[in-house]
């Protein structure tokens, strides 16, 4: 049987022998990492899954219940004893501290519930520090809106009549829940704010304020407005009105400046006296002429205006300085007029009082800038809000005699 010649080494085909499993695994592992073994998580039993779902539901229900309670508390009004609370709100209070402060003033039903309400509804970072007026009987949402000075808080209309002084204005602002009385009085006498607004503060010793520059008009203010903003707005309106009147009566203003050395402050001071004395609009220029004639007539001495409202103003602005103001109820007495310590009394002091005694409206300012051309030096009330005007003292005394003969209680002659 013929035998096959062996093939040459170059042409011999080597037959690959099958690899052992271990070798194949070793070779494949050298070229690519083998996947890590898959972790087998233990499967929860049906009972465990049910318990877990029940727990999650219970937690959610509790959270919703708490949220509902907190938000429901937000509409629960606090007890109302009819008290208005002025608070100088400190900066940096957290929810617990804010709730404690409100509770001390009787503004919330529950300190703890209020603290939770504040935390749940955003905390206290938006609360505005400084003076606030917070009435009792509000709900927590209302308190939050006030303390944040939110645009959501209500707005009210405030009418300031001509002749109101700043103490009257403060009382009205508090009654209408716009600003606290004490906070407004402090703001209207704040030297830094007066300087900011360009209000002249010169001459007289003692209290200086924005009196005379708080223009009487009707304004809309949000509840719990910063009293400094109120002062700014009233003074801005006064500046606007003054600019128009001073331009319209430039000759009259120049005459007062040349003859008496008057600037705006002195004009407003005299206009405030006219405002308090005049009951009828047509008498304003006549009353202004009486006071100006007394100041300008070289034969009229002493230069005393003898106006009751000036003396009474001290019982509002500095009652502790004037002994006669003790027990003052609003009625002007001879003792108040004659008190030597009353620097606002034009019965014991020559010329104008230290500053305005009220806030005059445009007609009274105009009456000073353009007074009636008269020689009157006296006037006395004759009833019905009107006056009798006289050039000579004997005529004036006769008018006083007639008044006393026809009335049971004569009004004090001027």
Count Cβ atoms below 10 Å from residue 43 Cβ, excluding itself.
8
- Tokens encoding 38: 């898959």
pTM for this predicted structure: 0.81
Q: pLDDT tens-digit profile of 43-75?
A: 656 665 565 555 655 555 445 445 555 555 556
Give the separation between CA 141 and CA 143, rounded to whole angstroms.
Answer: 5
Residue 222 phi, psi (nearest 5): -65, 155
What gap in Å lies between CA 29 and CA 89, rounded to an integer?
Answer: 74
Q: Are 275 and 360 in contact (CB under 8 A)?
A: yes
CA–CA separation, 151 vs 145, rounded Å?
A: 8
The pLDDT tens digits for 348-365 are 999 999 999 999 999 999
Torsion of CA 381, 383, 389, 393, to 10 degrees: -50
Q: How far is residue 227's CA from residue 176's CA, in Å, rounded to a whole number?
A: 13
- What tens digit of pLDDT does each residue of 106-118 get? 999 899 999 999 9
Q: Residue 365's pLDDT is what?
A: 98
Residue 164 and residue 314 in contact, taking contact as beta carbons nearer than 8 Å = no
C-beta atoms surrounding 374 within 10 Å? 15
33 or 279, which is more confident?
279
For 90, the token pair is 């400190």
Q: Where are the beta strands (DSSP E) in 27-120?
A: 84-89
Phi/psi-derived region of residue 81, left when phi > 0, alpha when psi is between -120 and 50, beta in every other case: alpha
Give which of 307, 317, 82 is closest to 206, Cα–Cα: 317
Asked if 403 contacts 411 with a C-beta cutoff of 8 angstroms, the reply is yes
The residues that bridge with 386 in the sheet, in sequence order, are 383
- 3-state secondary structure at position 117: helix
- Give residues with Cβ within 8 angstroms of 187, minimum separation 6: 131, 193, 227, 228, 230, 231
- The yes-or-no verdict on residue 394 having pLDDT over 50 is yes
Cα separation of 57 and 37, whole Å? Answer: 36
Q: Which pLDDT belongs to residue 353?
A: 96
Q: Three-class SS of residue 330?
A: coil
Least confident of 39-48, 83-92, 253-262: 39-48
What pLDDT is stored for residue 49 in this prediction?
58
pLDDT over 70 at 390, yes or no: yes
Q: For residue 286, give both structure tokens.
A: 């006549």
Neighbours of 239 (CB within 10 A): 16
Look at residue 94 and tell me whether its pLDDT is greater than 50.
yes
Residue 336 token pair? 């108040």
CB 113 within 8 A of CB 73: yes
For residues 50 and 108, the answer to whether their CB atoms sit within 8 Å is no
302 upstream amide cis, omega within 30 of 0: yes
Question: Is the model's pLDDT at 3 over the cut of 50?
Answer: no
**Helix, strand, or coil (residue 43):** coil
Distance of CA 20 to the CA centre of its chain: 94
Higher pLDDT, 356 or 29: 356
Range with the poorest average pLDDT among 13-22, 153-162, 283-292: 13-22
Percent of the chain scored above 70 by pLDDT?
78
Higher-confidence residue of 79 and 292: namely 292
pLDDT in tens, 202-226: 654 445 899 999 999 999 999 999 9
d(CA 134, CA 225) in angstroms, rounded, equals 11
């Amino acid at each position: 049987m013929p035998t096959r010649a062996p093939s040459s080494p170059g042409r011999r085909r080597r037959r690959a022998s099958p690899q052992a499993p271990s070798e194949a695994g070793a070779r494949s592992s050298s070229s690519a990492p083998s996947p890590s073994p898959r972790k087998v998580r233990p499967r929860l039993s049906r009972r465990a899954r049910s318990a877990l779902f029940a727990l999650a539901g219970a937690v959610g229900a509790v959270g919703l219940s708490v949220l509902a309670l907190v938000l429901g508390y937000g509409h629960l009004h606090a007890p109302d004893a009819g008290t208005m609370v002025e608070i100088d709100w400190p900066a940096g209070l957290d929810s617990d501290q804010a709730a404690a402060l409100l509770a001390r003033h009787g503004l919330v039903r529950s300190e703890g519930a209020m603290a939770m309400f504040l935390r749940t509804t955003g905390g206290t970072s938006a609360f505005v520090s400084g003076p606030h007026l917070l009435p009792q009987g509000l709900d927590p949402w209302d308190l939050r809106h006030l303390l944040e000075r939110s645009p959501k808080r209500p707005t009210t209309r405030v009418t300031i009549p001509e002749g109101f002084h700043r103490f009257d204005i403060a009382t009205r602002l508090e009654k209408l829940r716009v600003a606290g009385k004490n906070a407004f009085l402090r703001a209207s006498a704040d030297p830094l704010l007066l300087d900011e607004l360009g209000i002249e503060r010169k001459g007289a010793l003692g209290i200086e304020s924005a009196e005379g520059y708080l223009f009487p008009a009707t304004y809309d203010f949000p509840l719990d407005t910063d009293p400094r903003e109120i002062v700014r707005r009233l003074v801005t309106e006064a500046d606007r009105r003054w600019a128009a009147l001073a331009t319209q009566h430039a000759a009259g203003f120049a005459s007062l400046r040349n003859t008496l050395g008057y600037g705006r402050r002195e004009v407003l001071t005299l206009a405030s006296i006219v405002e308090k004395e005049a009951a009828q609009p047509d008498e304003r220029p006549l009353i202004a002429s009486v006071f100006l004639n007394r100041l300008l007539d070289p034969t009229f001495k002493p230069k005393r205006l003898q106006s009751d409202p000036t003396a009474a103003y001290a019982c509002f602005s500095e009652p502790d300085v004037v002994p006669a103001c003790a027990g003052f109820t609003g009625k002007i007495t001879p003792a108040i007029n004659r008190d030597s310590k009353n620097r606002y009394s034009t019965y014991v002091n020559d010329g104008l009082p230290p500053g305005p005694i009220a806030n005059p409206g445009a007609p009274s300012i105009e009456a000073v800038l353009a007074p009636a051309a008269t020689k009157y030096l006296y006037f006395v009330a004759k009833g019905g809000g009107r006056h009798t005007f006289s050039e000579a003292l004997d005529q004036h005394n006769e008018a006083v005699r007639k008044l006393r003969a026809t009335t049971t209680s004569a009004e004090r002659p001027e």
